[in-house]
Amino acid sequence: MLATSDSSFLGKHKLQIWKKIGEGSFSKVYLTKVGDAEDKNPTMIATKVINKNRVSSKFVEKFLPRELDVLVKLKHPYIVQAMCVSLQVFSVFQNGYKIYINMEFAENGDLFTHLHNTVMNESQIRSWLLQILWAFIYMHTMGVVHRDLKCENILLTSNYNVRIADFGFARFVDRGRNPGADTLCGTMTYSSPELLFGKRPYNPVVADVWAIGVVLYMMANNMAPFRDKTKEEIHKKQVSSNIAMHTNKKRRRVGKWTLGRSRPLINLTATFLEPDYVKRTKLKNALQHSWVREGNIKTPVDVITANESDRAINSNPIITQTSLKVPAFHYHLSEYGKTISKINEGFTAMDKSEI
């Protein structure tokens, strides 16, 4: 049964709960309809509701204000142009002890679920990797690190473009220096060797690069690269530098599919999953890798413009700990609307009979 308080509160803002599409220990996500109930062609958005009474005081005072401030400041042109690569947030409301984040709805779920049903070809992998790289180059240029990238946090639009989501552990860093961080964040499967067992502070930028490598591996293999029950055993496998991927000459069965990957893709993956963070690839270098370039995918003009920006966004926070002490706090960024999502020509949806 839907929470009456949520329905009532959102209804005052002309937002109607359609159904619940996700729930965690301290939050839930609704598919929400914008406008009048009689509208036959409504705009649908996702509304994330965070219950502050179910989280620690540290989360409320530190991580939540930081997440909201990052979300409202990231303004990559792909959010409003073709093939968006970052999740668009429309508004943030507070109703007593609940925070409502109204954001774009990604119709095709998340990458983790997608990989349970589909084996991707290399053209599809390349298309999504580029979108992820463009998004993270922009974020790092703007002085933001994500620190919790995983397949569950990569959402998919109706036209199979990616949206980077969940900035709960994101933070601002000083650009042009060694940005140090001390807090252990993220999921163990995606954590870099220096994050698991390195000295503090660690460099969160290169930790993001490692996580992208894990995502790339999973897109190519439909499984995680380093699997074990303890972080000690995962760390041993990470530092062994033994990336187990099968070439086209030695193919591997995954369910009803047979996998085999090209040597250039395997080599590129290894540059992301380099255990020595000093030698790990830079994102802009990855864009120039032979496997990426062989796709002949042109960088859109708006991506070039955004990713060459040198504008830092870590000053003058919009949403702060003080803001969230105001019971009726409200911040509106833009009008609710359908984001233009161009057909991703690098992605060809498989026939449903093959899934």
Q: Say if residue 201 is preceded by a cis peptide, omega within 30 of 0.
A: yes
* Residue 281 token pair: 């690839």
Q: List the catalytic residues.
A: 148
The closest of 94, 96, 107 to 31, measured between CA atoms, is 107
The closest of 180, 144, 16, 18 to 70, measured between CA atoms, is 144
